[in-house]
Amino acid sequence: MCRFMARDRTAHGKLALSTGIAMHVRLHIRRHAGRLAVALVAVLSCMPAALAWGPRGHRIVAGLAEAQLTPQARAAAQKLLALRGARHLEDIANWADALRDTDPALFRRTKRLHFVNFHSHDCIYDPPRDCRNGECVVAAIDKYSAILADRTNPPAERAEALAFVVHFVGDIHQPLHADYRHDAGGNDFQVRWRGRGTNLHRVWDSLMLDSTRLSAAQFTDELAARRTRVEAGGAPAQWAEESCRIDRDDGVYPRSRFIDQTYVARELPIAEQRLRQAGARLAALLNRDLAHG
């Protein structure tokens, strides 16, 4: 539970508007600057944590995946999408995050499914240790993929599973959603971005992608046009381990806590590669699960 600092009881009551009083206020602020800073940190730490990839990133993953669907999987997906008033995978890509506002109860039940906390820097996934009671993104993808693939399940249940799968496959490829540090996936790691304070998670969540000034559609087209091959295989546990190793080894955490252009030039290509991998792997998963309708 978040606790906010109590109001300083040494503060003065009503003050006359005079130069002398104004000087006293300035001295008081300087004297208690440390307390004010601590209070600000407390307020920021109580704000909701960012969720992996912003809306742009999740739409990119969905767009890349849809372009790689087989005719059979595309037809099956369109039937399920229609049940949710959608036409494309990108239309449902951010639904799991939007639950925070649209269905708080369901969001509370599923909020731990967006990430996995490794408990060792070796980045080896150990389910009893890292995914207790199946509450992590690795188990979530397996769970909802099985629901989606089972044609005996009600169509509405399969349609919901499709929305979760599309989102969680994006999540697991964001390096800070498979973290071993104790900083809430970078949410508690404060950095400077273009002269303003923010946290590392938000940099990876949206700020780096937004800095390209490309729309989700333009970004999707640009990534889809690249000829270099991406690995489309593997299982969710492997994808999480990859993210953890990137988080550990590839300079994701800046030593200076300043995000400059050198950092972006180094890390943005990694983010783009993860988006491409997520799109290819989501397509492979859906082509398998929806092969028979």
User: Which residues are catalytically annotated?
Assistant: 53, 58, 97, 100, 114, 167, 171, 177, 201, 205
Residue 119 burial class via C-beta count within 10 angstroms: exposed 0-12, middle 13-18, buried 19 and up: exposed
Residues 6+ apart with CB under 8 A from 156: 83
For the record, the structure tokens of 236 come out as 């969710």
| Coil/strand/helix, residue 196 | strand
Nearest partner of 247 among 118, 126, 60, judged by Cα:
118
Q: Tokens 């990694």 label which residue?
A: 270
Residue count (the chain): 293
What residues pair up with 193 in beta bridges, in sequence order?
196, 259
Alpha-helical (H) ranges within 103-215 are 104-110, 127-130, 137-149, 155-172, 200-202, 208-210
Burial class, 259, CB count within 10 angstroms (exposed 0-12 / middle 13-18 / buried 19+)? buried
261 burial level (CB within 10 Å; 0-12, 13-18, 19+):
exposed
Dihedral sign of CA atoms 256, 261, 267, 272 in order: positive
Q: Where are the beta strands (DSSP E) in 151-264?
A: 178-179, 190-193, 196-199, 258-259
Using CA of residue 105, residue 205, residue 235, residue 252, what is the dihedral sign? negative
